[in-house]
Amino acid sequence: MTTAVPRSAPAVLPGPNDACWCGSGTKYKKCHRGADAVEARKKGPEVARKGIRPGVISPRRDVPMNIPRPDYALTGRPQRRSSDSEIRSPDVIARMRRACKAAAEVLQEVASHVRPGITTDELDAITHEAYIRRGGYPSTLNYHGFPKSLCTSVNEVICHGIPDNRALEDGDIVNLDITIFLDGVHGDCSATYFVGNVDEESQRLVKVTRECLDVGIAAVKPGRPISDIGRAIEAHATQNGVSVVRAYCGHGIGETFHTSLQIPHYYEPDADTIMEPGMIFTVEPMINLGGWGHRTWDDGWTAVTADGSRSAQFEHTLLVTEQGADILTVA
Ligand code: MF3
Ligand code: CO
Ligand code: CO
């Protein structure tokens, strides 16, 4: 099998010292960079705008020893819990209410600091302190080795963006994904925010993504299969000409951050688990202006859209009740 060599510049351009996209084996800056810049200039500022690049990640933040930690805090590897039922006991549900409320409060607090000029690392520091003030541990810290207390996903970053020294810019959109480990359970929520003045297309993306979460939540009904949720979300996204990310799903949550229960945000007929009162899971659609494809940066975490289009996300943790969904991540 031969590898096809692209004949025109891809949506996401190489760094100056990376190999050129044309396959010449020469550094991009010595090859097509000049020509691409001229072409981009002809097409106008939209195309010339360059994507998010990895910044510098600050040293790991400490958590005081008196704060109870999840099992993976030291090793990075969560312990396998094999036959974990997805129905939560009244005790776990009561603790989930507290953890989820705390997560929603932290999200509000951190979001109030979003403005042009603040770095995502500064947002991480604020989040980290907010968890600790509540007696909670930052669930993401060392989870499978994740280095920070918060995920910050800017513009074309779909999810799992690592806070770094990049300052937010006027016109950016940023998802803040908060997870706190409190009272032995995890509460997980996220929302996408505008940084200063944002273009209309991005405003529409964020509005439709919020609606996708809402229609997903409305599809939560005991006795119905999990696939109803993704079917509702995908229909709403399709009607609005945007796409649903397929690589990342919602998940069961409780004493474990991510249980084996997956919640696809697109229609997946095999997601045939029947929703039952007492189940707790997240719904967290990631919606792209362009195609649903993604790639992952060399850091092993940051997921970006394959075509460089913007992506937004909203997330709640939900309890299934006789009536439908009880949203736990409310302040
Ligand atoms: N909070 C994310 C979720 O919604 C998970 C982040 S895991 C991390 O499931 F390791 F990337 F931080
Ligand atoms: Co989350
Ligand atoms: Co989640």
Residues 281-324: pLDDT tens digits?
A: 999 999 999 999 999 999 999 999 999 999 999 999 999 999 99
Tell me: do 19 and 144 sit in the same domain: no
Helices vs strands, H then E, count in the chain? 6, 15
Nearest residue (by CA) to ligand 1, atom 12, is 140
Q: What pLDDT shows up at residue 3?
A: 43
- What separation in Å is there between the alpha carbon of 178 and the centre of ligand 2? 6
Separation of 16 CA from ligand 1 center, angstroms? 31
Is residue 229, in this structure, part of any structural domain at all?
Answer: yes
Assess whether 169 and 318 both reside in one domain. yes
Give the pLDDT confidence score for residue 7 in this predicted structure: 65
**pLDDT in the model for residue 42:** 61
Residue 64 lies in a domain: no
Same domain (yes/no): 129, 22 = no
pLDDT recorded at residue 47: 44
Same domain, 28 and 129: no
36/95 same-domain check: no
| 158 and 35 co-located in one domain | no
For ligand 1, atom 7, which residue shows the shortest CA distance? 140
Read off the CATH number of the domain in which 303 is found.
3.90.230.10
Residues 140 and 34 in one domain: no
SS3 36: helix
Residue 1 lies in a domain: no
Do 130 and 258 lie in a common domain?
A: yes
Q: Is 6 inside a domain boundary?
A: no
From the number of C-beta atoms within 10 Å of its C-beta (0-12, 13-18, 19+), residue 198 rates as: middle
201: CA distance to ligand 1 center in Å?
A: 27
**Does some domain include residue 34?**
yes
- Closest residue by CA, ligand 1 atom 11: 160
In a domain, 3, yes or no: no
pLDDT value at position 82?
Answer: 60
Question: Are 142 and 30 in the same domain?
Answer: no
Query: How far does residue 284's CA lie from ligand 3's centre (Å)?
Result: 6
What is the C-alpha separation between 276 and 140, in angstroms, rounded? 28
Whole-number pLDDT of residue 37: 66
Q: Which domain holds residue 100?
A: 85-327
20 and 91, same domain (yes or no) = no
For residue 103, which of 205, 209, 253, 279 has the smallest C-alpha distance? 253
Q: Which atom of ligand 1 is nearest to the CA of 160?
A: 11
Reduce the DSSP state of residue 204 to 3 states and report it. helix
Residue 218 within any structural domain of the chain: yes
Q: What is the pTM of this model?
A: 0.86
Residues 164 and 233 in one domain: yes
The CA 68 to ligand 3 mean position distance, Å, reads 21
| CA 181 – CA 257 distance, rounded (Å) | 9
Distance of CA 161 from the midpoint of ligand 1 (Å): 10
Most informative mutation of 60, 153, 188, 317 for ligand 1 (most atoms within 8 A of CB): 188
CA distance 224 to 296: 34
Judge if 33 and 112 occupy the same domain: no
Residue of 137, 139, 160, 317 to mutate, ligand 1, most atoms within 8 A of C-beta: 160
Q: How far apart are CA 309 and CA 70, in angstroms?
A: 36
Block mean pLDDT (10 aa), the chain, length 331: 56 78 86 74 52 97 98 94 83 98 99 98 98 98 98 98 98 98 98 98 98 99 98 98 98 97 98 98 98 98 98 99 98 96
Structural domains in the chain (count) = 2
Report which bound ligand comes closest to the CA of 318. Answer: 3
Instruction: List, chain by chain if needed, residues with CB within 6 Å of any ligand 1 atom.
Output: 140, 143-144, 146, 151, 160, 177, 179, 188, 282, 284, 301, 315
Contact between residue 49 and residue 72 where contact means Cβ atoms under 8 Å apart = no
Within a domain: residue 54?
no
